[in-house]
Amino acid sequence: MNYILLLTLAFFFGVTNKVADLLNEHGLKLFKHADILFGIIWGILGAFLMFFDQSIAINYFALIIYWFFMIKLDYKNHSLAGTIMLFAGIYIIDFTNFVILQILLLFLLDFITILIQHKIARSFPLLARLRLRIYLIPLLYSILMDNYLIFYVTVVAMIGVEIITISYDHYLKKNKK
């Protein structure tokens, strides 16, 4: 039962992540302050995921540090979600030397894989769309920690992101006619 709840949270984490993105960068209009509301919900769902498992918390904590460092959380709702999750991580994570090394490793892997992704994108644009790095880092970390919940949460969250992305693209195409 707990795993069903975890994967359900992961799915809606991905959905709210993408809706928050669409509200800022892609012209989606829902209602006044929907962007802030979806940022808060996204952050709260992410915090719940982090409370479920320390390795999930470490994975997202490192990713959020990377996002802040690379200025990827460039809208209020993105920053709200990231801040909520950072505070959750600070509260949840037992920052031993080994954990700090894990966070640094994940942070560095984000940098390395983005460089590789940019090189691949120039030669194989379709592969760049697959965003393999989003799956590769959690998969490697899952193998390293022998905890596949990290990877499963990522995959289910990305299913939520992709469903909203495809639905919104379909909506835009349908309404252009």
Residue range 94-127, pLDDT digits in tens: 999 999 999 999 999 988 888 887 777 777 776 6
Give exposure, 100-111, as e/b (b: 16+ Cβ within 10 Å).
eebbebbeebbe
Residues of the chain under the 70 pLDDT cut:
1, 126-130, 177
Give exposure, 121-159, as e/b (b: 16+ Cβ within 10 Å).
eeeeeeebeeeebbebbbbbbbeebebebbbbbbbbbbe
Tokens of 38: 């979806």
Give the C-alpha separation, 13 to 5, whole Å.
12
pLDDT for 122 equals 78
Mean pLDDT of the chain: 89
pLDDT for 123 equals 77
- Cβ proximity of 41 and 74 under 8 Å: no
Tokens of 96: 């031993």
Tokens of 143: 């193998």
pLDDT for 80 equals 94
pLDDT for 54 equals 93
Q: CB within 8 A of 75, min separation 6: which ones?
A: 20, 24, 25, 35, 39
Phi, psi of 33 (to 5 degrees): 70, 15
Give the C-alpha separation, 115 to 121, whole Å.
10
